[in-house]
Amino acid sequence: MDLHHRLARLLRAHPGRVDCVIMVVLFLLLVTPTVLSGVGPLELLAAVGLILPLAWRRSRPVLAAGLIATVSVLQIIFYVWPLPGQVAVLIALYALAAYAPRWASLGGLAVASVGCFAGLLRYSREYGISPLEMRDASLPLFVVIAVLIQALILLCWTFGDLARNRRLTLQALEDRARRLEVERQQERDLAAADERSHIAREMHDIVAHSLSVIITQADGARYASAHDAEVAPATLGTIADTGRASLREMRRLLGVLRGDEETSTRPLPVLADIPTLIETVQHAGLSTGYTVKGTGRRELPAGAELTAYRVVQESLTNVLKHAGPNARAVVALAWTPRGLNLTIDDDGRGAGADPSSTGAEQGIKGMRERLRLYDGDLAAAAQAGGGYRITAFIPYTEA
């Protein structure tokens, strides 16, 4: 950073100290010579009263300008000769324009203009330019000096007003930058939360289904192999196939997280893959029926088909985990003019009868989150005659 930038930042960071230093410097330069010149007590008080309020020119600009204006008016009333410290009037006017409210800024400009004109009129006789005296050159010279003084006052006020506008503009830019930073951070947090939720759903769908099939197959093979040793190889083959498929899904998901384009562009499961899913759960020992009614009047988006697949996958996983032995499930897809209806029924004991059904509740929550992305809805409840039913609806995406 440049030296003048660092200096400007330092000055802005400590305005009170800077004003005190300026006041002390002006006191040494303007008041000390006045004291050494042997002036009277009124002149000394006026010199001190003009300079000391400058220590609060930014922290309390109205107060400082009021004190300086009071001292100047008293000078005119008691006919105290103008002092070098009168430059404090211009400094106070600049501070009013730059740091005080608008009413104080405009009021200070009016008071300074009237006061300086009154002072010029008061002391003009001593300089031989009084307009009240009958001299040929007095009036034109008085007018010229008055115009120059008013121009100097207006110039100081203008510089202060420009500084005020620049300060307000910088504050507005800084506030806007802070708001944008807060909004960007909120957007990043929301995006991260959404991504975590998405990853959690994917992990649950992949891992929960695969592990449920593997556990069911392993338990079945353990008991069946005691009576028929030939069951074990077939069951182990199903476990291996399920594990490989789960591993491929996990690698695809991790590839997306790493930004691996080759991995992330592999095809995702769609409605056409539901029969393969049903074959997998049938190999796991769950008798499953599958029906499709009607045809769609348009294709669903790829994400919506993935959502339908995940709903069926999660529902069958819950049946495997919670329906109990000898359960049967039926998956029904029905196309309607509005969209796709999914129904998964089972005749087991239902998730509510399983003490460990917390996982089912999490799975249903994940399904609802997926469907909500496509304006769909889901209903899940135990049936009166036993079993459990999950119904889902995914509407067409209308252009």
Q: Is the dihedral of CA 176, 178, 183, 187 positive or negative?
A: positive
CA distance 237 to 295: 36
The reported pTM is 0.53
Question: 208-254 pLDDT, tens per residue?
Answer: 666 666 776 676 666 666 666 666 676 677 777 767 766 666 666 66
pLDDT score recorded for residue 224: 63
CA distance 163 to 254: 56
Distances in Å between the alpha carbon of 165 and those of 3, 11, 169, 178?
24, 18, 6, 20
Q: Which of 171, 147, 164, 168 shows the shortest CA–CA distance to 105?
A: 164
Within the chain, which residues score under 50 in pLDDT? 262-265, 352-353, 355-356, 399
Helix (H, G, I), strand (E, B) or coil at 305: helix
pLDDT score recorded for residue 105: 92
Which numeric CATH code is attached to 271-399?
3.30.565.10
Distances in Å between the alpha carbon of 117 and those of 74, 121, 131?
15, 6, 12
> Per-domain residue ranges for the chain?
3-182, 271-399
pLDDT score recorded for residue 253: 63
Q: Is the dihedral of CA 228, 232, 237, 238 positive or negative?
A: positive
Burial 33-56 (b: 16+ CB within 10 A, else e): ebeeeebeeebeebbbbbbbbbbb
pLDDT score recorded for residue 264: 47
Q: Are 98 and 163 within 8 A, CB to CB?
A: yes
pLDDT score recorded for residue 352: 45
CB under 8 A, 24+ apart: contacts of 355-362: 356/321, 356/322, 357/322, 359/208, 359/318, 359/321, 360/318, 360/321, 360/322, 362/204
Would you report the helix, strand and coil content of the chain in percent, each value rounded to 5? 70, 10, 20
pLDDT score recorded for residue 353: 46
CA distance 283 to 330: 15
How many CB atoms lie under 10 A from the CB of residue 135? 14
Q: Residue 288 pairs with which residues in a beta bridge?
A: 329
